[in-house]
Amino acid sequence: MTVVAVCQGAGTSAATTTAVLLAATLPRPHPAFVVECDPSGGDLAAWAQLPSAPGWATAVAGADRSWSAVVDSSQALPSGLRVVTCPARPSQARTAVIESAAGFAGLLARMDDVVAVADCGRVELEPPAWTRSAQLTLLILRQATVSAQATVARADRTIEALEVLRSACAQVGVVLIGGSPYPTKEVASALGVELFGVLPEDTGGAGLVCGGWTLGKRAARSPLAKAAALLGQRIVETIYGREGSTERRLVAGVPS
C-alpha cells in the first residue's frame, strides 16, 4: 500500500504545500507523484499555470481504471514532479474526488513501486475519501503566528480531526509546522501523541518549492527542504520498513 494522505484540521493551511514538498523530496529510489484530492477544489493547476485538463475530471470520465489512466491524466510541474490535478470549483471537485477514490485509490494502494502523495485538504466530520485507502495519513498542524491562543484553538481542532481519522485510517501521524509559540514537546503533550515529524516555518523555502515550482540548489538548501527530506525518510521506512527503504523501485511514467 503506497498512498500517503496529507490533510489538515480546521484553521490550518499547508496541506498542498506539504504534499508537493514531500513528494519532491522523497528518497530517490521511490518515485512519487501528487494527486489532488481536496473536495473543496484544487490549487495546483492555477498555481503552476497548468491547463485544467488532463486531471481527475478526465480520468473519471473514461472507462479505464488502470495505472496507465493515472499516468495519462497527470501533468508535469516545471520541476518534473508529476501531479494529477483536481478541478478548482468545489461542485466539480467533490464529484471528481469521490469518483477517483472509488476508481483509483484502491489500485494505487496495492502498488508497492510508487508513492502517491494525496492532498486531501481539510478534515471535516468524515475522513476524507482518499484517507480510507492510505497506508499512512499525515495530519498537519501549523502553529499560529498571530497569537498563542490561536495555536491552542488549532490544536483543539487537530484533536477532533485525529479522532475522525482514527476511525477509518490504517496509520495516522501528526506533522507540526513551526517551533513557536509553543515548544514541540509541549504541543505533542497537548495532543497526546508522539509527533511523526516537524517542519520549520520557512516562508522562503516554501516559496522556492511551491512558488517557483522548482527544487534546485537554493530550495534543496532551505531548512524546510532539509527537514522534509528527513520526514520523507521516515515515511518510506514506515511504509516499506528499513530494508525496503533502500530498495530501488521504478515505474514507467513517473520520474525517479
Q: What is the CATH number of the domain that holds 99?
A: 3.40.50.300
| Alpha helices per DSSP H over the chain | 15-25, 44-47, 56-61, 67-72, 90-100, 106-110, 148-166, 184-191, 203-206, 217-220, 223-244
Q: Say if 34 falls within a structural domain.
A: yes
C-alpha to C-alpha distance for 151 and 131, rounded to whole angstroms:
25
Q: Say if 251 falls within a structural domain.
A: no
Closest CA to 108 of 137, 66, 138: 66
Residue 254's pLDDT is 37
Chain centroid to Cα 115, Å, comes to 11
pLDDT digits (tens, 9 = 90+) for 51-105: 989 999 999 999 999 999 999 999 998 878 899 999 999 999 999 999 999 999 9
Q: Say if 39 falls within a structural domain.
A: yes
Q: Say if 229 falls within a structural domain.
A: yes
Q: Say if 110 falls within a structural domain.
A: yes
Residue 221's pLDDT is 72
Residue 256's pLDDT is 34
Q: Say if 234 falls within a structural domain.
A: yes
Q: Say if 188 falls within a structural domain.
A: yes
If one counts the domains in the chain, the total is 1
* Res. 250: pLDDT tops 50: no
Torsion of CA 218, 115, 253, 85, to 10 degrees: -80
Q: Say if 253 falls within a structural domain.
A: no
Q: Output the nine-digit C-alpha cell for 110.
A: 496495492
DSSP state, 210?
Answer: I
pLDDT digits (tens, 9 = 90+) for 129-149: 999 999 999 999 999 888 899
Domain residues for the domain of 95 are: 3-240
Q: In residues, how long is the chain?
A: 256
Stretch 15-32: mean pLDDT: 85
